Each structure stands twice: as structure tokens, then as C-alpha cells.
Copies of this chain bind each other. A is one copy, B any other.
């Protein structure tokens, strides 16, 4: 007997038939003798419907009342799933975030979980019930309803699994696991059996949208084994865990990429202490997040300063930089929105040199010019022109032999 926390997202519960299919799946686990806590999202489309209602009243709706409104989405799902389970002879009880009590801070629309009351859930599990909990929501110390921000249901599931010390937290999605790269780009992309929390974090922050970053951070922090599975077809999915011996064979786990970035360069910047602060401080004031940052070596007292932002923030950042250029007597600001970021991710990089040079070599052979480079312990990211994205990802996937299982690979760098 294991104790499992499962999370089903919006498309998995998008219609009564889908909810019945989830109930069948959950009952299967119960029949095998497992204890199950289920976390669900709002039915797909429901959150948008509620937001439209709010916007009809107030186009800038946010804050406390938006959370009161949006939290009804998951509440509908928990009731329907509990009914479906009961109808299958599977005793179940639903709880909202307030009821179970998922205590959060008071940051409406983007609250953080502080504590989870376990008594209620434990009592129900011991009474042989499935516990169905509304994801994405909680309650602050004053009893006000909060939400964790979009996609926060993953975080609810992981936090519950951590608090209740579940054996595994299973995230059911519309994909059957984490892949070496996006199968829509690379035909022979391979589903990973296992991946480390760190790698998954890099993959997620680099554009792989399988899991919410916060949920992976949470799982890593509390060492909750996390499994990504398909709610539509059977299979083992991908297990996300701490690094262990079985993973050592793989240098590279996957290739993540993103088209969401844009590049801004200020040229002819007087190379004085504090220029990075003056440039990035102006951007930070606009609440724009900066991703990669490169400052060129200085020549004749002048330097170039380049960074990337989310493509949606490009216009605002550009407008602000034009002012900054004048203020600091720099030459000019140039921008590029047609870029893409490609990242190799793998814990094996820690113990093996030469991955970066192999990567650059492969890209050079394909005629792909590298615009920016950034590295961390377990990842190498490059920015290239967007038009080379697919070509570059396919070439790297081939060169590092990712379509094959690590044990069959011969992927030692030949730098």
C-alpha cells in the first residue's frame, strides 16, 4: 500500500465524461489498496469564463474579490469528482483550500503556501475515504480566500504531498512525461524515465511547460518524488527525484528552448562602475524581468551591454532604454525580437568537461551563429536567430544521441 497525491489539470477534468474517466482511474488505485488524495484544477475554460465575467464589471479586476471569484472554479470540480467517486462506491470527500486548511500569506492572486493542516485529510484517509482537494487556492490567517496564481494546482499537490509525507506526487497532464526535447520539433524525442529536480527546474524555466516551476522547487526542497503522467493513456511517465547513481550515465538529459525572448543592446556605453545597475535598474523599475545578461570587454573606454527580456516586455523596455541612452551618453540602443534561446540541460555536465565546446561545434557545423551564451552548473544556453531554432535543436539532439537510452549511448564529448 502506498500513499499517493494525484493532481489532474483542467483538460483532464474538462467535461463530465472526463471527470468520470478520472474517477475510474482514482478508483483503480483505491482498489489496489492505495490511499489517494486528489488535487484538481478548474474545468478547462472555466477560469477564463470567470475572468471574462470579472472584466465585464472591471477590466482591471484583481485583488481579494478576484480570488473569491476564481476559487469557485476548482470548487465545482471537487464536488463533481467526489460525486463521480461516490457513484462508483468509492467514498470520497471534497475540500476547498479554506476547508482543508491550506494557509497562505495574504498576497491575493499570487499567494504562497505557509502551512497545511493535516488533521482533516488524515482522518478521512483513515476512514477509508478518497480526499478531493481544490488546487490553486488557500486561505490567509484572517480567513480570506486566496489563490496561488495560474497553474498553482501543481504547487498545491506538491505541498500536500510534502506536508503529508506522501510516497509519490503524481501530476496528470495531457503529455505522458518529460521528453528530451519538444516532440513537435524533433521526431525521435524520447520520454525520460527519470530526471532530477534541478534538471526539471532548468527545463521548466527554459520553456518546457510540463510543470510549474514553483511546484518543482517545492518538490526538490522537500524531496517529494514527483511523477508526470498522461491522464489520457497509461504509462510510467517521468519520475522527478533527487540525483542518484542510476542517473550518472547521462551527460545531457534534454534540450529546452524558448521563442519568448527578445534582445536589447546598448552600444558605446562609457565603461564606468555602476553602469549595469543604471541600465538594469531602469528596467527593474518597470517590473520587467531580465534573463540573460552579457557585457562585452571594454574597448577605448566604451563597452556594449546586452540583455534579454520576455518578448511581451520588449516595447516598454526599448522605450525606457532610449531615455537611458541619453542620460548616460551612450551611443545607441538596438533590439532584436527574432531570437530564440536553446539550452542543454544535464547534471552530468558537473563531472564532464567539453560539453559546451561540443555544442558550439555542432552549431558551427550547421552554420548557426551564436548571439549570446550563458552557462550554469547543469546547463548551457545560447541565443540564436529564431529562424535556426528547429535546425539547431535537431542537430544537438542527434549529436548528443538523446533519442537513445543513456545506457546505449556513446555521448562522451568528442571536443
Contact = CB atoms under 8 A, between A and B. Distances in A.
B16 A87 contact: no
Interface string A70-103: 0110011011101110110000011010110000
A84 B53 CA distance: 11
B143 A53 contact: no
Contact of A87 (B50, B57, B87, B99): B57
A256 interface: no
B56 A82 contact: no
Contacts of A80: 53-54, 57, 65, 69
Please classify how large the interface on chain A is, using the bins under 10, 10 to 19, 20 to 34, 35 or more.
35 or more
A92 to B, nearest CB: 8
Nearest to A134: B68
A80 B58 CA distance: 9
Contacts of A94: 64-65, 68
A76 B57 contact: no
A143 B78 CA distance: 16
Given A50-B76, A66-B79, A57 B19 contact: yes
A334 interface: no
B64 A93 contact: yes
A102 to B, nearest CB: 14
A64 B132 CA distance: 13
B78 A57 contact: no
B75 A68 contact: yes
Given A65-B82, A98-B98, A76 B93 contact: no
A61 interface: yes
Nearest to A144: B99
Given A16-B53, A56-B16, A61 B76 contact: no
A71 B134 CA distance: 14
B58 A79 contact: no
A58 B79 CA distance: 11
Interface string A133-153: 000000000011100000000
Contacts of A79: 54, 65-66, 68-69
A214 to B, nearest CB: 25
A20 interface: yes
A17 to B, nearest CB: 8
A378 to B, nearest CB: 43
Contact of A72 (B16, B76, B98, B143): B76
Nearest to A43: B53
Nearest to A70: B79
A141 B293 CA distance: 57
A76 B82 contact: no
- For A65, A66, A69, A96, the residue with the greatest tally of chain B CB atoms inside 10 Å of its CB is A65
Contact of A68 (B82, B86, B144): B82
Contacts of A66: 79, 83
Contacts of A93: 64
Given A69-B76, A75-B68, A93-B64, A83 B98 contact: no
A68 B94 CA distance: 8
Given A93-B64, A99-B143, A143-B99, A57 B84 contact: yes
14 contacts: A16-B57, A53-B76, A57-B80, A58-B83, A58-B86, A65-B94, A66-B79, A69-B80, A69-B83, A72-B72, A72-B75, A72-B76, A75-B75, A99-B144
Interface of A: 16, 19-20, 50, 53-54, 56-58, 61, 64-66, 68-69, 71-72, 75-76, 78-80, 82-84, 86-87, 93-94, 96, 98-99, 143-145
Which 10 residue pairs of A and B lie closest in terms of their CB atoms, listed nearest first? A69-B79, A16-B56, A72-B72, A68-B79, A65-B82, A65-B79, A58-B83, A57-B83, A65-B83, A72-B75
